[in-house]
Amino acid sequence: MIKIDHLSKSFGNLEVLKDITVEIKAGEVISIIGPSGTGKSTFLRCINLLDRPSGGSIRIDGVDILDPKADVPKVRQKMNMVFQSFNLFSHLSVMDNLTLGPIKLLGMSKEDAGSKAVDLLKLVGLAEKAESYPDELSGGQKQRVAIARCMAMDPKIILFDEPTSALDPTMVSEVLSVIRRLAKAGMTMAIVTHEMDFARDVSNRVLYMDDGIIYEEGTPEQIFVHPQKEKTKTFINRVRSFTYHIASPDYDLYAMNAEIETFCDKQILAVKQRYNLLLIVEEMLQIYNPFLSKALLDINLAYSEKKESLEVVFESTGEAMNVLDKNLLSDELGLTLIQSVTESIDYQRLNNKNRVTLILKKQ
Ligand code: ADP
Ligand code: MG
């Protein structure tokens, strides 16, 4: 359906896309992953002619869209895009956001456009918001409206540019569910995303972009489980982590818990694991409490998607000592609780710091 050959794009001296050749067939769902700054957005914007490619060709159903005579608005309507930042018209109601394009660009009657809009709003679960304005909606709802608006133009393919990365973690899943639903219905889609689990289960094919090219491509299994090239491996197996610094006994417990919750949301951790993680942090901080006036403490949480394991590291300054040493503990209840939810607990003296590493039990 779409054939892209030797596509390149430079901004001045900056060569962002070097040589991209790829074909997208009708009904395919393609995920595009890769480090930031590697040209993923530029690639989508070139396909959609929001950026003019510097070289190469793009054909849709055999028609060269880079031909100067090509009808650009028509091309954009066929390859409609959903942006990170929603891009809804804030002065228009949800209904008007959905009907404007079909009436103006597709020549639909107001009635037809309206009834189609209602169907699409039902599809994305927002039928009751037809008369609301974008400012009255949550981020997740705005993005679902943006997807419905995109569908209203009857696109052949939808290009998603990190559709969930501007959202609060609590709203990510409602948007991903809508995209999953479109995938099931056979919509052709190209999705730039950092949601690896989602990319893995929604797509037929994954493109890993790096160095201005499609560095490696394959099925989700090939890319996520058996990547062949070094950079792909590093990217896929990277450990996602988060560190919280505690510099005094008066640290802000609520802020810390909120950050941990956010981390859990991003990693899509199960409720049980989340609960166990918070339990470990709470009990460990009780144990550390007598030392916090003299020591700096870093709490590092790391989730390895590959190993599906969650690791919590407590690293503190001060003289060598293991806080979990039974001779130091005033009461062993905390330790017993921690042991009940961990697979392993290790103490190391490293770089003049005390490091306790706990690995959570898999549920
Ligand atoms: P990604 O989406 O993979 O994070 P982008 O496509 O946004 O990457 O950007 C790739 C590179 O192109 C970056 O170095 C970015 O600064 C540069 N770039 C993107 N758009 C423009 C532009 N309009 N003008 C100049 N440089 C740009
Ligand atoms: Mg981008």
- Determine the Cα–Cα distance for residues 73 and 68; give it in Å rounded to an integer: 13
- Residues in CB range of 11: below 8 A, 6 or more apart: none
What pLDDT is stored for residue 191 in this prediction? 97
Q: What is the pLDDT of residues 32-46, one digit of tens each?
A: 999 888 999 999 999
Q: Shortest CA distance to 313 belongs to which of 275, 352, 284?
A: 284
**8-12, 13-17, 168-172: least confident range:** 168-172
What pLDDT is stored for residue 363 in this prediction? 67
pLDDT higher than threshold 60 for residue 239: no
Q: What is the pLDDT of residues 87-131, one digit of tens each?
A: 999 999 999 999 999 999 999 999 999 999 999 999 999 999 999
Q: Could you tell me the two tokens for 90? A: 């804030």
pLDDT higher than threshold 90 for residue 25: yes
37 sits in the region (left: phi over 0; alpha: psi -120 to 50; else beta) called: left
Whether 363 and 270 have beta carbons less than 8 Å apart is answered as: yes
- Determine the Cα–Cα distance for residues 134 and 96; give it in Å rounded to an integer: 11
User: Does ligand 1 come within 6 angstroms of the Cβ of 212?
Assistant: no
Q: Nearest ligand to the C-alpha of residue 36?
A: 1
What pLDDT is stored for residue 305 in this prediction? 63
Task: Name the closest-CA residue to atom 15, ligand 1.
Answer: 37
Range 220-234 average pLDDT: 90
What pLDDT is stored for residue 126 in this prediction? 96
Burial per residue of 199-231, b for 16 or more beta-carbon CB atoms within 10 angstroms, e otherwise: bbebbebbbbbbebbbbbbbebeebbeebeeee
Which atom of ligand 1 is least distant from the CA of 51?
A: 23
User: Does ligand 1 come within 6 angstroms of the Cβ of 89?
Assistant: no
pLDDT higher than threshold 90 for residue 224: no
Which atom of ligand 1 is least distant from the CA of 42?
A: 6
Ligand 2: centre distance to CA 40 (Å): 6
pLDDT higher than threshold 60 for residue 215: yes
User: Does ligand 1 come within 6 angstroms of the Cβ of 36?
Assistant: yes
Q: What is the pLDDT of residues 48-99, one digit of tens each?
A: 899 999 999 999 888 888 988 888 888 888 899 999 998 999 999 999 999 9
What is the radius of gyration, based on Cα positions, of the chain?
Answer: 25
Range 22-32 average pLDDT: 96
pLDDT higher than threshold 60 for residue 336: yes
Work out the percent of the chain whose per-residue pLDDT is above 90: 68
Q: What is the pLDDT of residues 300-327, one digit of tens each?
A: 888 876 567 889 999 999 999 999 998 8
DSSP reduced 3-state for 98:
helix
Ligand 1: centre distance to CA 341 (Å): 44
Range 165-179 average pLDDT: 88
Range 141-149 average pLDDT: 97
Of all helices (H) and strands (E), which one includes residue 281? helix 271-288
Q: Which amino acid type is present at position 48?
A: N
Q: Nearest ligand to the C-alpha of residue 207?
A: 1
